[in-house]
Amino acid sequence: MTPGVTSLPETAKCKRCRGRATIPMPSHNANFCPDCFISFFETAVKRGMKRFPVAPSTPLLVAVSGGKDSLAAWNVLHDLGFTTRGLHIRLGIEGFSDASADSVAAFAGERGLPWVEHSLEAVIGFSIPEIHRRMRRKICSLCGMLKRQLLNRLSIQEGYEYVVVGHNLDDEAGRLLGNIVRNRTQYLDKQTPFLASTHPRLTAKLKPLYRLEGREIRTYCALKGIRFLEETCPLSRGATSHSFKEALQFLEERMPGTKRDFLFTFLSRQKPVASPRPFQNCKHCGEPAFGEICSVCNLLSLLQAKDQPHPGEGGPSPP
Amino acid sequence: MTPGVTSLPETAKCKRCRGRATIPMPSHNANFCPDCFISFFETAVKRGMKRFPVAPSTPLLVAVSGGKDSLAAWNVLHDLGFTTRGLHIRLGIEGFSDASADSVAAFAGERGLPWVEHSLEAVIGFSIPEIHRRMRRKICSLCGMLKRQLLNRLSIQEGYEYVVVGHNLDDEAGRLLGNIVRNRTQYLDKQTPFLASTHPRLTAKLKPLYRLEGREIRTYCALKGIRFLEETCPLSRGATSHSFKEALQFLEERMPGTKRDFLFTFLSRQKPVASPRPFQNCKHCGEPAFGEICSVCNLLSLLQAKDQPHPGEGGPSPP
């Protein structure tokens, strides 16, 4: 049995071609054969891409971590004829970052696709574990912010206007649930599969996999022979974003289709933002910022202030 | 150990009186001793009741099923000095309905509290199992609708303007989550702990336990010696409302306080309904109705049409 493909009885018929179905799709109330599954998968991506104001000839920079989502996004966009290039940001997490880069290198090498790697430490002077050590708090939201910021800066530096990220339906629906349950309504406007550029130094962001569930992407990788990094980041254990995805998955298993209905109805009712919050230019680095200082420079000044050993570790007490 | 009271280390201190705490309250980041817990519980009910436009001398009809929530609501309102009377609707579910009525009778008998029982079958001519048999669908939403409608009619008949229901924080937060995830935004206006009367033949509805979690109510029952029916309705297995409560409980255990923050922030941001949907009078029975026919008369005509044996069971085919 192909990994990622669950077994169905031998009599199961493909919803499209009536051939033998091997792939159950409970949220679509259907079963597919491998060929029709690939066609379904590519159609979902095409439907997504058609909604984005991106010409088919536009070169796309694909942010790749080495996990299933970003490699599947890169693979399907390449198969659909888009001109793509990979961008990997090395976070400096022992073991995990090497494995991530190896996974990207293997994927790109086998397919002859171009890619580039940048290191967080080389760009801002700190690796994720070093930031974690100094900040002494859960790293996920800081790491997310840094990846977003770097992705933007590096894509402009690499000469791209559009950057692709691998966020899937589970990610988007989970984030929506989290923002609603925690009453963070101020983030709901940004919950879209296409984020336009609203500043000359800001690339537009595309999420071509937003119509596809994690399990569908896993099946796609299995059928396409994409070997991805299974391991999750060792620093993300217990992240609240995981809990919201798990809660939604719990509901999905009892009421198949819940995740899609939840996300797609939200998106269909979403009104365009009348006047997006205007950016300023960061006083230190000139990058887009919501205040006088951008989030990266803000973090950097905090990190430098924390350069001293912690008082509890025997250093001098603060005055 | 008192049932419903989880164990804490012997050194745990009550957040209020600094005496020995035996009751953990993770969502309040506190532990309580039994006396302070009762005081906390009664304060939560008083805070709720103060928000409702109900004078302390107003007689209240308490809808009681025999479960923990409705008996706790009745008990605490009586202890707080309200004039109360119980109303039990017998649904005709074999075993379960007898056990429900026994639980109400024992509670009321021990405390010398007045109560009255009405039977669904006597009022509309059908028991819940008979409706279930004829309608051949999940019964929970129909049963809920019938209980709401009967509760309204019977409370007017019994001469009450205000009816109390036992819905707790878990019920309200679970329902809110369900309505949001399933995009049923049209129901969000009704998601309040006090529903005013908007028609002469409609009683106002109070939910005095909306600030209290199921586990807190269970502890209250244990401390007050309230013996309630533990059994859940045998026809409600797999109800979707249970799934949303379970999903929220999953989040609550990982992020204590999630349920209260979710519900209370929603309630605090809720705007009063500008013009509530106007009622008409049902053409058949004169009760408040959103269309020409009320939901009860609508169901009754469907039930009568289904009086014939099902075609598959050997009866004549429909013309």
Q: Verify whether the Cβ–Cβ distance B183 to A262 is below 8 Å.
A: yes
Q: Who contacts A43 (Cβ-Cβ below 8 Å, separation ≥6)? A: none
Chain A residue with CA closest to B255: the answer is A240
pLDDT higher at B31 or A237: B31
Q: Say whether pLDDT at B316 is over 70.
A: no
Report chain B residues whose CB lies below 8 A from the CB of A261.
182-183
Tell me: pLDDT of B218 over 60: yes
C-alpha dihedral over B308, B310, B311, B316, to 10 degrees? -20
The tokens for B233 are 């309705």
Query: Count of CB atoms within 10 A of residue A125's CB?
Result: 11
What average pLDDT does the segment B100-125 reach? 96
Per-residue pLDDT band for B246 (boundaries 50, 70, 90) equals very high
Mean pLDDT of B197-215: 94
Choice among A110-114, A143-147, A275-279, B295-299 with the minimum mean pLDDT? A275-279
Per residue in A254-271, pLDDT (tens digit) is 999 999 999 999 999 988
Summarize pLDDT for B163-187 with one digit per residue, the tens.
999 999 999 999 999 999 999 988 8
- Contact between chains at B243 and A251 (C-beta distance less than 8 A): yes
Tell me the average pLDDT of chain B: 91
Residue in B177, B182, B265 nearest the CB of A261: B182
Q: Kindly report the nearest CA distance between residue A106 and chain B, in angstroms.
A: 37
The strands making up B162-164's β-sheet, listed across from edge to edge, are B115-119, B84-90, B60-63, B162-164, B204-206, B194-195
Gap between the Cα atoms of B163 and A122, Å rounded: 67
Choose among B238, B240, B265: nearest Cβ to A183.
B265
Is there a contact between B254 and A244 if contact means CB atoms under 8 Å apart? no
Answer whether B262 sits within 8 Å of A181, measured CB to CB. Answer: yes
Flag if B247 and A244 touch (Cβ within 8 Å): no
Closest CA to A88 of A137, A126, A122, A133: A122
Q: pTM of the full predicted structure?
A: 0.88
| Angle, helices A96-111/A68-79, rounded to nearest 10 degrees | 20
Query: pLDDT-based confidence at A238, cuts 50/70/90?
Result: confident
Please give the helix or strand (H or E) that residue B84 lies within, else none: strand B84-90
Closest alpha carbon within chain B to A248:
B247
Local structure of A98: helix, strand or coil = helix
pLDDT tens for each residue of A61-91: 999 999 999 999 999 999 999 999 999 999 9
Q: What is the mean pLDDT of residues B286-305?
A: 90
Q: Give the mean model confidence (pLDDT) for residues A177-195.
A: 92
Q: Which of B89, B239, B248 is nearest to B169 (CA)?
A: B248
Q: Provide the 3-class DSSP secondary structure of residue B269.
A: helix
